[in-house]
A = this chain, B = another copy of it.
Amino acid sequence: MINKKKTLLNEIKEILKSKGIKPSYQRIMVYNYIKNHINHPSVDTIFKAISGSIPTLSKTTIYNILNLFAKKGIVDTLTIDKNEVRYDFIKKAHAHFMCKICGEIYDIHLKSDVCLKDFVEGHKVEDTHVDFKGVCKECL
């Protein structure tokens, strides 16, 4: 069990190094959290979740790390919620659905030509976001 965890952390260490990121303990913990929590956490959510394991943790550190990860292409920055930025571990292109009632954000696996465009009307596309809002199936 202990060995398993050690292996996991070493794996993350290697991934971060391969992306040109020095693998500090805080960065490894944030990476591990967002990799395993696909519910589009906010900075505050991540902070509360891992500050138990790192008593001295500062929220500024979470901001720093996520801004770094976004720049390095590890996380996607979702602006679907106007109150706070949400982060999404980048796997492959997918859309999002946000419930107006409960605020939950769901992944939507949709195949569409929209996500494949390199240029639209002369502008060079780097990121594509497809956001749906409405009432989720739980709240219906």
Cβ contacts A87-119/B at 8 Å (1 or 0 each): 000000001010110000010111011100100
Q: How many residues of A contact B (CB 8 A)?
A: 37
Check: A136 CB closer than 8 A to any chain B CB.
yes
* Chain B positions within 8 Å of A136 at CB level: 122-124
**Can you sample 18 A-B contacts with CB below 8 Å?**
A77-B82, A79-B80, A82-B85, A108-B120, A108-B121, A114-B114, A114-B130, A123-B132, A123-B135, A124-B140, A125-B133, A126-B134, A126-B135, A127-B134, A128-B131, A128-B132, A129-B129, A129-B132
In the assembled complex, the Cα of A22 lies from the Cα of B68 at a distance in Å of 48
Check: A137 CB closer than 8 A to any chain B CB.
yes
